[in-house]
Amino acid sequence: MEVRLLSDEKVWLSPPTTADIDAIVECCQHPSIGEWVTIPVPYRREHAERFLDELVVPGWAADNPTWALRLRADGPVVGMISLGAVDESAREIGFWLVPEYRERGLMSRAITLVCDFGFDPDGMALARITWRAFVGNHPSSAVVRRNGFRYEGLARLGNLQRGVRRDSWLAARLATDPPGRADGWPPGV
């Protein structure tokens, strides 16, 4: 896949590079990121290097893009968003944002850009984008719900994080779903 830069002039999405390693390491020190994301804790420089070498670069080559979220085109990394492989017409969205930039609508904007690209026939032409998060990750569920993801259920002990199985919430958005807020989520999710 050819690298695609995405922007709405409020957020800029571009692949992370080796120039971003220090910023990625700094971002991943936030306890709230380690709590909800399957990253090593403590997160070190070698983890960021491995992330770039083993996930980002080959991911783009295999149609599984990862973007760094920036507040300007040449700005530092403040978040990450990706579309990981499920099958040829479906991907799973994953993302994180440092705490100081949350509750500003930035991740919602990034999800809109990524879903638009994912569903666009001239982008990835996907039929489905899935989401999952550990039970209790209310900020993540809120942002995907605002972006049209429909709740699909609970996967009991559905994911592994640093050797511990945890329950996960599941949701998805289809190419035919409208992009606005999705109804039908159970209370407390």
The pTM (predicted TM-score) of the whole model is: 0.95
Residues 113/13, Cβ–Cβ less than 8 Å? yes
Which pLDDT score, from 0 to 100, does residue 179 have? 83
Cis upstream peptide for 99 (omega within 30°): no
Which pLDDT score, from 0 to 100, does residue 94 have? 98
Which pLDDT score, from 0 to 100, does residue 150 have? 98
DSSP three-state, residue 68: strand
Which pLDDT score, from 0 to 100, does residue 141 have? 97
Pairing type for strands 128-134 and 90-97 reads: parallel
Domain regions of the chain by residue span: 6-174
Low-confidence residues of the chain, pLDDT below 70? none
Angle at 58 between CA 15 and CA 24, to 5 degrees: 40
Give the domain 6-174 fold.
Aminopeptidase (3.40.630)
Which pLDDT score, from 0 to 100, does residue 135 have? 97
